[in-house]
Structure 1
Amino acid sequence: MFHTVLIANRGEIACRIIRTLRELGIRSVAVYSDADAGARHVHLADTAVRLGPAPAAQSYLDAEAVLEAARQSGADAIHPGYGFLAENAGFALACEAAGVSFIGPTSEAISVMGDKITAKHAVEARGVPTVPGVARSGMSDAELAASADEVGYPLLIKPSAGGGGKGMHVVDSESALIPALTAARREAAASFGDDTLFLERYISHPRHIEVQVLADAHGAVVHLGERECSLQRRHQKVIEEAPSPLLDERTRERIGAAACETARSVGYRGAGTVEFIVSADAPDEFFFMEMNTRLQVEHPVTEEVTGLDLVEQQLRVAAGEPLGFAQADVVLRGHSFEARVYAEDPASGFLPTGGHVASVQHPRGDGIRVDTALEDDLDVSTDYDPMLAKVISWGADREQARRRLVAALGETAVFGVVTNVEFLRMLLELPDVVAGRLDTDLIARELEGFSFARAEDRDFAEAALILDAAATRDTGPWARRDGWRLGDPVPRRYALRAGDEARTVSVGGAGVLTVGIDAHEQSAGVVFLDDTRVSVDIGGSVRTFSALRGEESVSLLRDGAVIDIGIERARHAADAAGQADPQLISPMPGTVVVARVADGDTVQVGDEIVVVEAMKMEHVVRSAVAGTVSLRVAPGETVSRGQTLAVVTPAASGPDTAPGAG
């Protein structure tokens, strides 16, 4: 077994690998960029080495810097985690040349399976069914367009390299094909450095089923059952579970055998995942999509139902040990779900967020596991993937596991950074999800029906009571500057806002403490249980919850939703008047990748002005008014959420230019 292992990754997966290394008594080495100098994985490891600046290309993707860190730290093996260099065949070869064990498959296996076109041809030769389509290297947009009729609409554009849904586009008509190909090439080149594309038939009511395989260097190959990953948004997995509620035992055996045959086709070694697509209309028919030659994000659900530590198995296989069990020894027990916690705002179109984590609350309880990189006072950078943590549940059956995860998400809070936790909780409660009727389009169909939490009267009252009580506790009555006097107290008034909602709340009054909105007062009381837990009694109704208090704001946790309420401040004049705002504001922190217009151009309502990219997602910012544009940023510039990108000076309207004139 290895003495020292360097983890060439960051975030929750680096923390996850360190946990197993510690259990096995293996020394761990973390690497980090400047953006991650204070990150959790850095101080969890036995030692840490700086790689470079924040951009991944100058840090986590710098193979030479990673190998130099291995030399400096005396590491005899490198675990790549997932993403970054995990499926880089050149890096695996470089490790071999440097005399450092790469904890993963051979570079040849990575190379074949890393190219989806060659992978399709390799498994087809072994009799594994693949999705019909056109997959030839080097095809131009014109050649792909000419082949589209052969595939048929709707069709799916896929990059040959990479994964995670980046560069994938569903196209319903010929007119939409060329624009989609252009966007797919740009996204694939930016994400993977390779813009090769191919086309596949789009399977109706598709379900995403993947099979975990393990193979040693002595010829043994086993599968550990399947995972259902059909709950996706923009081809990015959101919630996964094991086993799939779709497959019967016969199909499970067949798809597992196909996965093992896929691994044998490239002499696979280590942990890998073979991904299949299955139509919900024909659950006994499956097609190979791709093989991920690394550990998967969703590996914990397989660990929960098999009792195996997949990181430990990777280490043992890489050290030359044979698998310690056969296929007959693999038994699936119970059911497991995983929910991915992302730094994104579902109520605003899932825009990436980021920022400073003031406080984090992780759930606990029977059957609950949390894999996370989150901790108090952490800065979430937009330079990397937006996933922050994974909340995993296990139950004796699917419904128990689902209910446990719903409850756990209700206790999860990331104060200071907007996340998708509330969305995940609502998703798990959809009738089709409860029943196991899943497909990859489910979220897109159901999203409009989601009703995200808004601040209610009770929330405003609680916020006012907490602000008022905290001020009294922190400063005492003699230091207050709110008109405190001897005799009957004068009610203190708080003008509060939460997004589009605003209320004025009175606190105080004669006799017992009261709280009132719109002249309706009730008796009230507040008890601070600790730094984040508070109990509030309003009119005899007591609610105990988590809250983060600031000087002029309170964040309340309500059923998995964090509601931010602050003291009202003046808003932008145009917004207050209900007019379109001539200022174009960045909806997220990120980098300007494209300016669609030049400074001084005339633009119309809805014209694209700037494209901002963050956490591997592009967002187009459009003009809300017609007029002359003044750009305030340039391509390549880093911007913050709320920063002005451009200002449009409205076109003058007069007798000759007014709507309907002439």
Structure 2
Amino acid sequence: MTVPLFDTVLVANRGEIARRVIRTLRTLGIRSVAVYSDADAGAPHVREADHAVRIGPAAAAESYLSIPALLAAARETGARAVHPGYGFLSENVAFARACADEGLVFIGPGIRALEVMGDKIRAKEHVAAHGVPVVPGFSAIGMDDTALAEAAVATGFPLLVKPSAGGGGKGMQIVRAVDELATAVETARRVARSAFGDDTLLVERLVERPRHIEVQVLADEAGNIIHLGERECTLQRRHQKVIEEAPSAVVDAATRELLGKAACAAAASVDYRGAGTVEFLVAGDRTEDFFFIEMNTRLQVEHPVTEIVTGVDLVEQQIRIAAGEDLTLRQPDIGIRGHAIEARVYAETPARGFLPATGDVLEWRPAPGVRTDAAVETGSVVTSDYDPMIAKVIASGDDRHAALTALDTALADTVILGLDTNIAFLRSLLEDPEVRAGRIDTALIDRLPTPSPVPVTPAILRAAAGVLPDGSTRAADAAHASALWRSGSGWRAAGPRPARTVAFLGDDDAVHDVRLEGGEDEREPGVGPAVVGSDGAVWVHTRSGAQRLRPLTRREATFVGLARTGRAANASSPEVGAPMPGAVTAVHVSHGDPVEAGERIVTIEAMKMEHPVLAPHAGTVHLKVAVGDQVRRDQTIAIVRNADEASPAD
């Protein structure tokens, strides 16, 4: 059945999500309305929409999570439907109800599906009753610590403690023995309250060395349900997906049919409508042993790989189904052609434990020849207000090997300067022998060593020096000079610039010198472009990853060397610095308490990730922050004094 589509749709999201939805709306001839917070006033999705409405300040709770603000924007612009994207309110039943009360079509499933599948405990019990296999476990609702411990012992270790509400792996804790349970429960509940406003917990048996396989489904009002094959989402870090591909390297046609039938059964059990994803845990390479994890009642971040191998625009299908059209696709119409693989590019610093990064995007150039869904462009500002994922790079090929190779090349050709990203780490992950062979599990990344900074090479140093006016001028001053002065072309009114030596401080905390001869070509293949940031640091692109170098005067270079010598002579500093910018969400000790080496002092949260800050050695702690404080990277948050040291002035 063909029905008229909507004339105007409000996109209740931001970044690459909003841009993705707007792209299909434009193809369908539907007017798009973007919403934005103060932090996103200049964001690409705001300009690309046909109309844009400010909905509040930077804080998500006062903008993208504000149901009244979103409804007001829809009324103001005459929108007939709301596409929630993924994340934020996309699975929020209160938002879906509010849209219905307002006379707006919520481009997503019905209320019942949102209610049942939005609660992991209820969802698990529900699908089990409809023949879908589930992992053994229990709900911790109403349990005190003693009852919870008894139930955990009865279920058997190892266990996974996770919030019932929400998703994305937030708050999940692995428990291998009963004495680890109390700390895991405390952490999971705190994260759940903060992220989802609900600290209900679910405890499940942990399946060792599992694979994470999910199945895309589409369903219409008439009850037609199809699946579009599976996606392999096993490569994860801290329960957050990093690399996704379709199809899975280990799922054969028979298992694909079994997974698809289970996914369709789960969707049918709640009268599902629209696009959804049913997630399964597979025990190792035994794909016939799979267990329901949850159903995401929305589009997934990784949906592009399914679109590429099936040729189906999932956003278009969502819109048509929401408008009342019946599915024109039937299961025999769905075929898997070739292989597609996606890498999530995060603003983070892998060498510092993958801590979130912020900054100005000084240069952005997506790789040619592949699909890139990005939240940023040159001039964008990445803050700690939202998720750290800034782009997705998606490549394809006739087979898995070709797709892996194409993605590696695309990542090498993706230029983003001005903030740290995980691109170098992604490339090293794609080269891992186990990844290449398809022998993966969800803990593979966690077993890898901490990534090291990209080595500083003479070619990188020459490229960095090439964008400075001369070797003696401070880059901080150069950053405010004219475009010609900062271009690094080497042009001078009086002829070529003379030979000079430039010193840089690298991310490896070492001083690097480079001597440039006058008139030589400072750009080399595979290195560049290079730009100077507002703080004076020089960013250089290489195929191995971006480099940040801080130009030093000779005096500064001497002091850096002395400081390194002094640090080596001391076991540890009494000053404890913040490893990342963010908010203090928990203080685990009191001012003046004795602490042991490695004991948690505070927890800092940024970009939806918690990071505990530990005591560097035993001593007495003197706190410099409190819960709720915003801290800068490297800001002193505590001082841990040995017993024989004088107490600092407070």
TM-score (norm 1): 0.88
Structure 1 residue 414: Cα displacement: 1.8
Distance 1:2 1:356 in 2: 37
1:436/1:89 CA distance change after superposition, 3 Å: same
2:338 equivalent to 1:334:
yes
What residue is the counterpart of 1:658 in the other structure?
Answer: none
Shift of 1:504: 2.5
Q: Which of residues 155, 175, 178 in structure 1 aligns to 2:179?
A: 175
Aligned residue for 1:182, secondary structure, equals helix
* Shift of residue 588, structure 1, vs aligned partner: 1.3
Preserved CA contact (<8 Å) 1:411 1:560? no
- Structure 1 residues 492 and 168: CA distance shift in structure 2, 3 A: same
Give the counterpart of 1:439 among 438, 441, 463.
441
- Which of 349, 370, 373 is 2:372 aligned to? 370
Q: Could you tell me how far apart the structure 2 residues matched to 1:385 and 1:488 are?
A: 46
**How many angstroms apart in 2 are the aligned matches of 1:381 and 1:491?**
40
- Find the residue that maps to 1:110 and give its secondary structure: helix
What CA deviation, in whole Å up to 9, does each residue of 1:495-519 have, x standing for no partner? 22112221223333xxx65xxxxxx
Summarize the Cα distance change of 1:566–1:451 in structure 2 as closer, same or farther, 3 Å threshold.
closer
Give 1:236 shift: 0.8
What is the CA-CA distance between 1:281 and the residue it aligns to? 4.1
CA contact under 8 A between 1:468 and 1:507: conserved in structure 2? no
Q: CA-to-partner distance for each residue in 1:205-237, whole Å, 9 max, x for gaps? A: 200000000000011000000000000011111
1:385 maps to what in 2? Answer: 387
Aligned equivalent of 2:261, options 254, 257, 260: 257
As a proportion of its length, which structure holds more strand? Answer: 1
Aligned AA (1:563):
Q
Rounded Cα–Cα distance in structure 1 between residues aligned with 2:591 and 2:599: 14
AA of the residue aligned to 1:164: G
Instruction: Determine helix, strand or coil for the equivalent of 1:167.
Output: coil
Asked if 1:577 corresponds to 2:578, the answer is no
Distance of 1:136 and 1:603 partners within structure 2: 32
2:531 pairs with 1:548: yes
Q: Distance in 2 between matches of 1:485 and 1:77?
A: 61
Aligned to 1:637: 629
Q: Distance in 1 between matches of 2:135 and 2:326?
A: 34
- Deviation of residue 11 (structure 1)? 1.1
Shift of 1:92: 0.6
Equivalent in the alignment of 2:644? 652
Distance change (3 Å), C-alpha of 1:98 and 1:557: same
1:497 aligns with 2:505: yes
Alignment CA distance shift 1:124-1:627 (3 Å): closer
What RMSD, in angstroms, separates the aligned Cα atoms of the two structures?
2.7
Q: What secondary structure does 1:438 align onto? A: coil
1:410-421 mapped onto 2 (5 Å cutoff): 410-421=412-423
Give how far 1:485 is off: 14
Q: Does the Cα contact within 8 Å between 1:592 and 1:639 map onto a contact in 2?
A: yes
Distance in 1 between residues matched to 2:30 and 2:333, nearest whole Å: 27
Equivalent residue number for residue 525 of structure 1: 521
CA distance in 1, matches of 2:106, 2:497: 71
Deviation at 1:440, TM superposition (A): 0.5
* Secondary structure of the structure 1 residue equivalent to 2:468: helix
- Equivalent positions of 1:450-461 (< 5 A) are 450-461=451-462
Return the letter of the residue paired with 1:248.
D
The answer for the alignment partner of 1:220 in structure 2 is 224
CA distance in 1, matches of 2:459, 2:532: 17
Once the two structures are superposed, the pairs formed by residues 133-532 of structure 1 within 5 Å of their partners are 133-135=137-139, 137-365=141-369, 368-448=370-450, 450-467=451-468, 491-499=499-507, 500-508=509-517, 513=519, 524-526=520-522
Provide the rounded CA distance (Å) in 2 between the counterparts of 1:631 and 1:86.
40
Distance 1:7 1:572, change over 3 A: farther
The Cα shift of 1:456 comes to: 2.6
Aligned in 2, Cα 1:222/1:487: closer, same or farther, shift over 3 Å? Answer: closer
Task: Determine whether 1:563 maps to 2:547.
Answer: yes
Q: Is the 8 A contact 1:344 1:420 kept in 2?
A: yes
Q: What is the identity, as a one-letter code, of the residue corresponding to 1:622?
A: L
User: Is the 8 Å Cα contact of residues 205 and 281 (structure 1) preserved in structure 2?
Assistant: no
Deviation at residue 604 of structure 1 after TM alignment: 5.0
Inter-CA distance 132–488: structure 2 relative to 1 (3 Å threshold) = closer
- Give matches, 1:61-80, under 5 Å: 61-80=65-84
Instruction: Spell out, residue by residue over 1:543-585, the C-alpha distance to the aligned partner (whole angstroms, 9 max, x if none).
Output: 5532224585432222241111221245598655113333332
Deviation at 1:59, TM superposition (A): 1.2
Corresponding residue SS for 2:304:
helix
| Contact residue 117 and residue 136 of structure 1 kept, 8 A | no
CA drift of 1:133 comes to: 1.6
Which AA in structure 2 matches 1:134?
Answer: F
Pair 28,429 (structure 1): closer, same or farther in 2 beyond 3 Å: same
Task: Report the AA paired with residue 100 of structure 1.
Answer: L
| Rounded Cα–Cα distance in structure 2 between residues aligned with 1:485 and 1:386 | 44
- Report the secondary structure of 1:561's partner residue: coil
- 1:466: Cα distance to partner? 4.4
The answer on whether the counterparts of 2:526 and 2:542 sit within 8 Å (CA) in structure 1 is no
Q: Displacement, 1:458?
A: 3.6
DSSP-derived class of the 2:13 partner: coil
What's the CA shift for 1:619? 1.4
Amino acid at match of 1:617: M
Find the residue that maps to 1:593 and give its secondary structure.
strand
Q: CA deviation at 1:136?
A: 6.0
Q: In structure 2, what is the Cα distance between the partners aligned to 1:228 and 1:274?
A: 12
The 1:152/1:628 distance shift into structure 2, 3 A limit, reads closer
Number of residue pairs aligned between Structure 1 and Structure 2: 620
What CA distance in whole angstroms lies between the structure 1 residues aligned with 2:526 and 2:425? Answer: 23
Alignment check: 8 A CA contact 1:455 1:501 kept: no
Deviation at 1:652, TM superposition (A): 3.4
Distance in 2 (alpha carbons) for counterparts of 1:229 and 1:485: 57
1:319 maps to amino acid: A
SS of 2:202's partner is strand
CA distance in structure 2 between the partners assigned to 1:465 and 1:269 by the alignment: 57
User: Given residue 456 of structure 2, which amino acid in structure 1 is its aligned partner?
Assistant: A
Counterparts of 1:489 and 1:187, CA distance in 2: 57
Q: Taking structure 2 as the reference length, what is the TM-score of the superposition? A: 0.90
Task: Output the CA distance in 2 between the equivalents of 1:586 and 1:396.
Answer: 46
Q: Residue 556 of structure 1 aligns to which amino acid in structure 2? A: V
What CA distance in whole angstroms lies between the structure 2 residues aligned with 1:200 and 1:600? Answer: 39
Instruction: After TM superposition, give the deviation of residue 7 of structure 1 in Å.
Output: 0.8
- After superposition, give the CA deviation of every residue in 1:118-162 in whole Å (9 maximum; x if it has no partner): 111111111111111223643333322111122211111122111
Cα distance in 1, alignment partners of residues 181 and 227 from structure 2? 38
C-alpha distance in structure 2 between counterparts of 1:486 and 1:86, whole Å = 61
Task: Measure how far apart 1:328 and its partner are.
Answer: 0.8
Q: What displacement does 1:180 show?
A: 0.7
Residue 546 of structure 2 aligns to a residue in which SS? strand
Structure 2 counterpart of 1:424, which letter? L
- 2:603 — aligned with what? 611
Report % sequence identity.
53
The answer to whether the aligner puts 1:597 opposite 2:581 as a matched pair is no
Aligned to 2:488: none
For the 8 Å contact 1:344–1:419, the answer to whether it is kept is yes
How far apart in 1 are the matches of 2:641 and 2:136? 52
CA contact (8 A) 1:277 1:288 kept: yes
Give the whole-Å Cα distance in 1 for the aligned partners of 2:35 and 2:607. Answer: 20
Query: d(CA) in 2 for partners of 1:133 and 1:320?
Result: 39
Residue of structure 2 equivalent to 1:531: none
Between 465-474 and 492-501, the greater mean CA deviation after superposition: 465-474
